[in-house]
């Protein structure tokens, strides 16, 4: 499996795009550090959470992610709650499930330089 972060998303309106199986998703989730497979209703989603240093740094993070999403033509759901908790959810709306696009976007988000925006994890 080559590095997902260097792949490109395909247009979601291609008619032969189908949601992947749970098994395929379980294989791919190992390639995107920190992301979880969650089931919302009967559809699978990718989900990851971060704690940011401040509300405004959360919005800076949204902008970094938005730039990647626009470049890929594939977009996540962005949540910023209780001032410093960022959650990103990704799925392919056109098929109501997961496609490789979702994992490519997750890998590209992981590749962003966001350390300066994130709260340091407690070491103890
Ligand atoms: C034509 C194309 O389907 C749409 O423009 C794109 C936009 N971004 C998208 N993002 C996501 N996550 N799913 C989609 O189906 C999708 N569709």
How would DSSP label each residue in 1-44? ---GGGS-PPPTT-TT--PPPHHHHHHHGGGSTT-EEEEETTEE
Burial group, residue 6, by CB count within 10 angstroms (0-12, 13-18, 19+): exposed
Only one residue has tokens 């925006």, namely 117
Cβ–ligand 1 contact at 108 (below 6 Å): no
Range 70-79 average pLDDT: 98
pLDDT computed for residue 118 by the predictor: 98
pLDDT for the residue numbered 56 = 98
pLDDT number for residue 5: 95
Give me ligand 1 centre to Cα 92, in Å: 7
Which residue's CA lies nearest to atom 4 of ligand 1? Answer: 12
pTM for the whole thing? 0.94
Q: Specify the pairing of strand 77-81 against strand 85-90.
A: antiparallel
CA distance 55 to 38: 26
For residue range 16-74, what is the model confidence (pLDDT) as tens digits? 888 999 999 999 999 999 999 999 888 999 999 999 999 999 999 999 999 999 999 99
Task: For 78-92, give the DSSP string.
Answer: EEEETTTEEEEEE-B
Task: Look at ligand 1, atom 9, and give the residue with the nearest C-alpha.
Answer: 74
What domains does the chain contain, in order, with CATH numbers? Answer: 33-117 (3.30.1360.20)
User: Binning pLDDT at 50, 70 and 90, where does residue 122 land?
Assistant: confident
Dihedral sign computed on CA atoms, order 20, 21, 22, 26:
negative
Residue 2's pLDDT band, with cuts at 50, 70 and 90, is low
């Amino acid at each position: 499996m080559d590095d997902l972060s260097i792949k490109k998303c395909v247009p979601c309106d291609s008619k032969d795009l189908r949601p992947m199986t749970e098994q395929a998703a379980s294989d791919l989730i190992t390639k995107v550090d920190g992301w979880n497979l969650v089931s919302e209703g009967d559809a699978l989603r990718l989900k990851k959470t971060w704690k940011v240093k401040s509300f405004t740094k959360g919005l800076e993070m949204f902008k970094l992610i938005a730039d990647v999403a626009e470049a890929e033509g594939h977009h996540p759901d962005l949540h910023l709650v209780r001032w410093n908790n960022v959650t990103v959810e990704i799925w392919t709306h056109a098929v109501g499930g997961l496609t490789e696009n979702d994992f490519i976007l997750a890998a590209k988000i992981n590749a962003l330089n966001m350390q300066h925006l994130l709260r340091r994890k407690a070491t103890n």
